[in-house]
Structure 1
Amino acid sequence: MTASLLHRAVTRDHWIGRGLRWPLDRLSVNAVLPVLSGPLFLRRWIVGAGLHRCWLGTYEREKQRALSKILSRGMVVCDIGANTGFYTLLMSRRVGREGHVHAFEPSPGNLAFLRQHMALNKVSNATVHGEALSDGVGQAFFDTSPGSYQGRLDPKGRTPVSVTTLDHLWEQGALPPVDLLKIDIEGAEAGALRGGERLLRRFRPTLFLATHGVETHRECCRLLRSFGYRVQSLDGNTRVEETDELIASNR
């Protein structure tokens, strides 16, 4: 069965899906399976760490392809909002032993899966950070919805987390000059950009940015343009105002 057919089967209500989803739903959440297609082919994945599309290899295929085209051996990259490690694994494979990945994930549950995926796949070119990234250094609260892999900084959250900035990490020597950042942090994107302004202006890394909410989207676009970036949609065709998946590159 092709990756395209697998994707259709588990995401749409058609006759293949009705048969295929039955055994999928009965897989143990602790099962470890090889990714079946895409850039992560044969990487090991914990079933309970995400959607079935992750181990099928069909998760966000357009973004996988776009990232894979830009990533190359020797790059230093950041996965900000690493979740359980899908894109961290992709980046690790693409940048090779000569490169390095810095993965940021403050959610305790996701962080545990992220570390497990690094160990299962014997990843030696990644550093995992448990802090959240924003525009200040200190402490904050994190909210995670029950039964969800998503979470966000929220004053009403119950989980205390450490917060830092890209600029602080770079200036303290904990983060080298970077070539690319992937940012997907459930509405906190503008804060992360403000907290990395000096790094962004100096090293001009490419950014893959997922925005959450109209106001956050507008503010991120405004900030990036003020930093001297050209902002376009992930597919290169959709108007920036009509998408929440952006690529920002040096003008």
Structure 2
Amino acid sequence: MKKRRELAIKLDALGPRLLVERPWLGRLYARLMAPRPSLRVFPGWTFGREFFVEHRWMATRRGILWRYALRNELDIWVVLPWHGGTRLEARLGNDESFCVYVAGSFEPNEFAFLDRTLRRRMTFIDVGANDGLFTLFAAARVGRRGCVLAFEPSSRERAVLERNLALNRLRNVDVLPVALANEPGEATLQIAPALHGGHNTLGGFAHKGVAAIATEAVQLETLDAVTARLGIARVDVIKIDVEGAELKVLAGARETLRKWQPVLLIEANDEALRKQGASTADLLALLRSLDYAVFVFSETTGLEEPWAEGAPLSANIVAKAFPPSEA
């Protein structure tokens, strides 16, 4: 134990010094410390659990680097291994890299679910693609003859998404710089600080302490119109994480859902929905009207299980079209 503590002290001093004095060497050091992603389920997963709750030794070491980059406003980007044999460029000092780099996992049950669901030649739609965590994995899973549509209206996040696609030489992804809604038009996107880049919203911020640092005018389109315009031949899986605009996205995708009955993976944050005049109750009602059954991620197994009326929802839910006999 004594030697382990001594090693920790040395590493915790070495990493930050390299980031300042030899940035290229600091990035290499950070990369060597990076965890390997896993597609195993993680029952009871929460944000940063490996760091905050389990206090894993390597997570603590990586946390020292992450916090140093954040506190000193260092622009440190590290290329990390990601699911499906892809690589991800992440900036130390934001929420995403805290999960992926420090803790070593990001929504593991959702990714395990997609690993069980996605197949070659499928079409995956990523609504709210952000830096591309889901897009990269899906593009690798569906293969060259599959297709991924990635919707990301924020120019800041979209630039990172496109860098990550180039890094992986993925050519089966179309990036669309628009926000999906229930009708076409224009809107103002509230841009969150870089620390909370995944919280950009067309409504109000659902998380305390997050405030806009800028705004960006964005175009609104419906998914039905986009799939028709692009001549999409099939839609198999849609992931929607748009900080409270999920209901509007679904409302603009009725024909897409009716025609192809894709599996849905949707964020279900009641506070975020209420910031845009909706609620999880409204979301559930719309899914039911579209003949979709709702599943939640089990706290005990990490697997999807049928949602019972009145029971709590998981942070993200799965929705599957009822078989014709049950609709």
Q: Does TM, normalized by the shorter one, top 0.5?
A: yes
1:43 corresponds to:
87
Cα drift, residue 176 of structure 1? 3.9
Distance change (3 Å), C-alpha of 1:55 and 1:92: farther
Residue from 305, 311, 316 that aligns with 1:245: 316
Cα drift, residue 125 of structure 1? 0.8
Q: In the aligned structure 2, how far is the partner of 1:211 from the partner of 1:170?
A: 24
Q: RMSD between aligned alpha carbons?
A: 2.6
Secondary structure of 1:242's aligned partner: coil
Distance change (3 Å), C-alpha of 1:61 and 1:15: closer
Contact 2:190 2:216 in 1 (8 A): yes
Amino acid at match of 2:260: F
Number of corresponding residues: 247
Secondary structure of 1:187's aligned partner: coil
Cα drift, residue 22 of structure 1? 1.6
Cα drift, residue 18 of structure 1? 4.1
Q: In the aligned structure 1, how far is the partner of 2:184 from the partner of 2:139?
A: 27
**Is residue 161 of structure 2 the alignment partner of residue 151 of structure 1?**
no
Distance change (3 Å), C-alpha of 1:19 and 1:51: closer
Q: Which stretch shifts more, 176-185 or 191-200?
A: 176-185
Q: Which stretch shifts more, 41-50 or 204-213?
A: 41-50
Contact 1:45 1:55 in 2 (8 A): no
Residue from 104, 108, 116 that aligns with 2:151: 104
Q: In the aligned structure 2, how far is the partner of 1:20 from the partner of 1:30?
A: 13
Residue from 25, 40, 52 that aligns with 2:98: 52
Query: Percent of aligned pairs with the same residue?
Result: 28
Residue from 122, 126, 150 that aligns with 1:79: 126
1:10 corresponds to:
51
Cα drift, residue 20 of structure 1? 3.8
1:185 corresponds to:
242
Bigger radius of gyration: 2
Contact 1:139 1:161 in 2 (8 A): yes
Secondary structure of 1:79's aligned partner: strand
Task: Structure 1: state its 5+ residue gaps.
Answer: none
2:292 corresponds to:
229
1:22 corresponds to:
64
Q: In the aligned structure 1, how far is the partner of 2:260 from the partner of 2:99?
A: 34
Greater than 6 Å deviation, 4+ residue runs:
1-4
What TM-score do the two structures reach when normalised by structure 1? Answer: 0.87
Amino acid at match of 2:217: P
1:172 corresponds to:
229
Distance change (3 Å), C-alpha of 1:15 and 1:55: closer
Cα drift, residue 204 of structure 1? 0.5
What TM-score do the two structures reach when normalised by structure 2? Answer: 0.68
Q: In the aligned structure 2, how far is the partner of 1:24 from the partner of 1:171?
A: 44
